[in-house]
Amino acid sequence: MLQIFIPTLIFTAFIAVLTTILIFCYKLLSSQKKITITINSDKKIKTIADENLLSVIQQEDILLPSSCGGKGTCGLCQCQISPAPNALPTEKSFLQKKELNKGVRLACQQQPSNDIELTIPAYVLNAKKMSATISKVTSLSARIREFTIRLNDKTLNYQPGDYILIDIPKFQIGKFKNDEETNRAYSISSFPTEVINEIKLTVTFAASPDTNVLLDGIGTTWLFDQKEGSEIQISGPFGEFHLQDNDKEKCFIGGGAGIAPLRSQILHHFQQSQGSNKITFWYGARDAESLVYEEEFRKLEKRYDNFEYFASLSESNENRQDLTKSYIHTETEKYLQNHPAPEDVEYYLCGPAPMIDATTQMLINLGVDEESIYFDNFG
């Protein structure tokens, strides 16, 4: 018995050692494979195959936005890759078909193993880090605050629809402890000529769905603790969620904090142009209290014949029987079902992911081409 057992044991051990050596050699060889990443047909970076693309880009001091630490959950680290690698399910949830077809991917989800050409949006290369001061905090509702931010020494040349990143440091506020530096994206809700050398942000506090199990949001816990006069670090501007310059009817659809870039775009539009194209704004809030900037949009409606504002409340319309208790995409759908040509309208969507998904699906079902749908997904 022992005569069979010992040689078998030796043979198995030999095979195991050989396999380990082979795996080690393979990893060593592949980790030494060098590849070239060409950025915007100009800058060439030599790196090792299978490195995380976001880390490679960030080592070059390029401010490619990222606020989830590379987990694939913020959707901000977009860049165009050629040849286009297969898209992962995590990437598909943040990118439209037209973007996927162009080779747009999330850098944090990619580990190129061969030479690639990378196109990084110009706004990323132009973005700057800067210090700023919170000059005013206005409470718009129990959960929503407007922060006015004064830029200390630089100007921010942004377009309506752009966002900035706010650095969130390590902090302890009461029992809440944040051990990692991070950042969060916030859309600019003011329009460029509204306030000079200042920008406004409209931020909803990200309360925990169950405080027994989960903490409130990291970024908003810190931001809502800041006072007027607090100094903060920001970077930007970032974004491609911009108004198209044409005479098409424009339909803005927003939910919750998604009002921020839409406010900037709509007010900028009326401030700049005397165009007669129809503009409608469909805004979904949780309840009457969260219906921020309503007065401003009602005034705009009175002033301009080509502008209409509609609101609905998703949780309760107890204090506002004049408004429907429904999701905003349902209300927009009723309007579009009676519209002679929904496919000729341009759509600007902003809000939480479920609202963006439901609205996009509704528009596609009505025959609208994806090319006419622009959105910012707040995740």
Ligand X SMILES: Cc1cc2nc3c(=O)[nH]c(=O)nc-3n(C[C@H](O)[C@H](O)[C@H](O)COP(=O)(O)OP(=O)(O)OC[C@H]3O[C@@H](n4cnc5c(N)ncnc54)[C@H](O)[C@@H]3O)c2cc1C
Smallest gap from Cβ 106 to ligand FES, in A, equals: 5
Distance CA 258, CA 46 (A): 40
Nearer to ligand FES, 110 or 314 (CB): 110
With binding defined as CB under 6 A, does residue 352 bind ligand X?
no
Residues of this chain that interact with ligand FES (CB under 6 A) are 54, 66, 68, 70, 72-77, 106, 108
Smallest gap from Cβ 128 to ligand FES, in A, equals: 20
The answer to whether 351 and 254 are in contact (CB under 8 A) is yes
Nearer to ligand FES, 76 or 328 (CB): 76
Q: Which does 206 bind (CB under 5 to 8 A by kind): ligand FES, ligand X, none?
A: ligand X
Distance CA 202, CA 144 (A): 7
Smallest gap from Cβ 220 to ligand FES, in A, equals: 18
Smallest gap from Cβ 133 to ligand FES, in A, equals: 28
Smallest gap from Cβ 109 to ligand X, in A, equals: 16
Nearer to ligand X, 187 or 290 (CB): 187
Q: Which does 68 bind (CB under 5 to 8 A by kind): ligand FES, ligand X, none?
A: ligand FES
Q: How far is CA 123 from CA 26, 158, 238, 251, 328, in A?
A: 40, 10, 6, 25, 31
Distance CA 189, CA 199 (A): 8
The answer to whether 124 and 238 are in contact (CB under 8 A) is yes
Which residues ranging from 144 to 183 are in contact with ligand X (CB under 6 A)? 163
Q: Which does 356 bind (CB under 5 to 8 A by kind): ligand FES, ligand X, none?
A: none
Nearer to ligand FES, 90 or 277 (CB): 90
Nearer to ligand X, 71 or 97 (CB): 71
Q: Which does 257 bind (CB under 5 to 8 A by kind): ligand X, ligand FES, none?
A: ligand X
Which residues ranging from 234 to 263 are in contact with ligand X (CB under 6 A)? 257, 260
What is the residue type of 353? A
Spell out the alpha helix ranges (H) of the chain.
Answer: 2-31, 53-59, 89-92, 97-101, 122-126, 218-223, 259-272, 294-303, 328-337, 353-365
Q: How far is CA 184 from CA 116, 119, 274, 299, in A?
A: 29, 24, 35, 32
What 3-state DSSP class applies to 154? Answer: coil
What is the residue type of 110? Q
Smallest gap from Cβ 170 to ligand X, in A, equals: 14
Q: How far is CA 268 from CA 128, 256, 273, in A?
A: 23, 20, 8
Which residues ranging from 201 to 240 are in contact with ligand X (CB under 6 A)? 201-204, 206-208, 214-220
Dihedral pair phi/psi, residue 367, rounded to 5°: 90, 15
Smallest gap from Cβ 260 to ligand FES, in A, equals: 20
Strands 250-255 and 279-287: parallel
Binding interface with ligand X (CB under 6 A): 74, 76, 163, 184-187, 201-204, 206-208, 214-220, 257, 260, 376, 378-379
